[in-house]
Structure 1
């Protein structure tokens, strides 16, 4: 059987627990729901007008060129692809 007597005890980061007198009536008190403002947290990137996913495989060299172009223009790669396709369609006709 494993001997746990030599295992290190981790120091609690929470501090000492409250006394029994401090928590005696906690279960009798009503719970309060948080206000809706505190529930709305922004997580991740902001939403854009683009809603359709576009997944494609690119060779690494082209991907690097596309990414550098997007960074230099201050746009994301989706905007660069949209502009390129629009330009291609306009000049094809």
Structure 2
């Protein structure tokens, strides 16, 4: 199994090579879709190579670009049911003590 770290600003996302294609773990903060696309191209990958997006938790720096990346890759998203509810509602979760 191949795992590639993909930094999107100050958030690390990960690409995992699977038998059917690549899995993206987390989607970075808002406005990262352009950087995401650039990093994919640098790795020799296309958005269609991503077959699944896994979200670890619904903080803004992990789901901010999720909608755009999901549309670009045209793949499903996997998240814990409690996190999925937050993601679907469009809430931006900023952990206490992290916003200046």
Whether these two folds match at TM > 0.5 is no
Relative contact order higher in (CA < 8 Å, ≥ 6 apart): 2
Q: Which has the larger share of strand?
A: 2
TM-score after normalising by structure 1: 0.23
TM-score after normalising by structure 2: 0.21
Q: Which has the larger share of helix?
A: 1
